[in-house]
Structure 1
Amino acid sequence: MMASSSEPDVASQLQVRFRTKQNQYAIPDTPYAIAATVSTSELNTLVNAILKDNPDITKKVNFDFIVFGEFLRTSLSEHLQSHEAPTESTVEIEYLERLPAPKPHDCLTHDDWVAAVSCKSSWIVSGCYDNSLHLWTTKGAHKLAIPGHTSPVKAVSWVSLNDSTGVFISGSHDQTAMIWEWDIGSNAVECIVSCRGHDKSIDCIDVTDDGSRFVTGSWDTTIKIWSAQLIDEDESASKKTKVDNGKPRSSQVSLSGHREAVSGVKWMNTDTELASSSWDHTLKIWDVDLAAPSRTIASNKPFFSLDWNPQNRLLLTSSADKIVRVFDHRLNVDTPTVNARGHTSWVSAAKWGPNEEYLFVSAGHDMLFKMWDLRSPRAALYEMSGHTDKLLCCDWVGQYLISGGADNAMRIYKSKKPASQ
């Protein structure tokens, strides 16, 4: 099956060279002649056999292999053929320790559909179709059920969180966004501000990194920017007033340009540029100062969600045609850089992994929660099952991957990176 580097190259063999960024697993930089039909499992056998001479490695390591920027998922010869790569020259193969499969951690039951979820540190806020919000620990303890909205909660986002206080925002089908302050010690929560101005359901929210402003997207096709401060700029702390259902607040900026519902909004590095997705088949990059789009990316299907990755500066979208797409808005083309295929129904939501350049998750109407790598668009790394109805939302913070769905369940999975990564 395999030959040493000293054996002659024949038609059924390929010359390969292995390299890795994980120095503890480095092997000699020597060309090896291997069978063209080898797969990942056989490459694992070869690399582990070479690593047996390393006294620091005491057990077998499970590796993934990258060839021409994509994970090897077929035989090496088929992979090269799909990339129209020559077989006469030495093939560079990068290897890295395989990410372990996420493990089920908890299932948290609600009284209705779970439409929104946001996790920060060890706390989760979820939004439900019974108009309520819920606070949980990542260990599965239910801390508080919060009434206040008069229609289903469609979006939630943390603003700030410390040992004593948490601030978060909720958006609802009742056309309002509420800013909540939670006293962790007394486990009491209060709606401080009620933001009104949209004419239809608020379906998406995002907060600036510094927590000063937030943006909402609505079925009324508009995007609005608001202050996220608990106290208005013209109101001192001593004059802080309590009002039932929160003190009213108007938006600072309103952006118009989409023709149908706005399904996703994300700040991009600063509070002067943001991205939006819509059911009108477009993504828009907005210059907030000019209150106008600087770039529009067109697709052939409605977009259902949007996320932005500051690590790689790429946009992640989910859509009605079962495909998760990645776009580089800096390119003057509408073509995605990656099409991740594997869902069998609508993809409700997709989310980048925290501080990750390559990893993301997606939640679909096929009841599956999937983990992906940009370098493996033809197949997800892992499928997380357990839901019994369509998924509506997801989040990924630290080691916790969270999904919510129409089965009234919020499921938590734990993902642990190899120690070397």
Structure 2
Amino acid sequence: MTGLLLFASFAILLILGVPICVSLGLSSVVGLLACGFDLGMLPDTLYASICKYALLAVPFFVLAGAIMEYAGISEKLIRFADTCVGHRKSGLITVVVITSCFFAAISGSGAAAVAALGGILIPAMVDAKYDKGMSTVLVSASGAIGIIIPPSIGYVVYASIVNVSVSDLFLSGIIPGILLGAAYVAVAIWMSRGNHEIVHREPASAKERWAAFKDAIWGLLMPVIILGGIYGGIFTPTEAAAVAVIYGLFVGIFIYRKITLKNILSVLRGAAISSATVMYVVACASIFAWVLTTSHVATDISNAMLALSSNKIVLLMLVNVVFLIAGCFLDGSSAYYIFMPVVLPILQALDVDLVQAGVFITVNLAIGLVTPPIGINLYVGAGIAGVSVSSLVKKVVPFVVGGVIILLLLTFIPALSVGILHLAG
């Protein structure tokens, strides 16, 4: 009964248009009352849910991404990638994905990558005679790689829930992110195969490439410093986030000189709002997950799913379906907190590596970022391109299919994700 009230109230609030975080909080209160808990424990539980050392990395990574975006690194990354591969057949498609991967390694946010890159890349693709709808979907889908390639805010949240190493998740996300990017390149080339109007650019000279590289090197160094420091044992992922902020400020103020005392407040304000939104979602979703676990609803659902089949392939497919659907409606943090209490016992019963599970579950959510009806990246891309989301639905399908193929490979071939951990010792 508690589970029914919990999920029914949450669904009704979403249908009424109430924000997800508020819906989670209100439905959690309904669950607490149904279980007979004293509402006086709510403030302490909310505070305890976000008072975790690992989660301290979230606001720092958000701020680092905001600083580098404001410093104009997106334009420099695009220019560098364009001088390297922009002249090749379908080179602009590759530029979109490569730039998205690099920016993902800076911002760690899918929507931020689309917002930062879409205003430049979508018009550039349209000018080169690529289909506008396909271009919009490509930029939106490529931006979703931001939650897979480290540093990823999603991995930090997942790690805080299931108690696994953030560093292991970061390292395991590199190859899956590259594979997903390659799949999107292949899909975009296939969709553009009959377009003979595409404008091909002249190859850049060695001098132009060197100039573009020198201009972008400071941005390219950020993921190297973050990941190198973590795996070199110099600092933890949380400390790496703080280092990224300091490095971003240094680059923005002294190298690119885009950040001044006058505009630093607007950068801090935007990052504070984004961080507060994420932490508010985490707090409310934590209460929802706590009610699920304490009332034994999560255990009952897990047992019911395990009773459906003892086949590992069937159950893992079922887990993927759950998160694919969740990704269409919820942000990553909410999806982790709501469904991990249900899915975690299943993964443990199947003896699935929780780091590998974190990667393929996050890939599910990345696909959901461009899947209607509430694919946030798709809405951001459509807003930048000035087109309706409904006009993009058919063009999304091939990208979703490509993403699902990579998802299945990551689900059933663990070496594609956690194999790098064994190589790294």
TM-score w.r.t. structure 1 length?
A: 0.26
TM-score w.r.t. structure 2 length?
A: 0.26
Determine which structure has greater relative contact order: mean sequence separation of CA pairs < 8 Å that are 6+ residues apart, divided by chain length: 2
Structure number having the greater strand percentage: 1
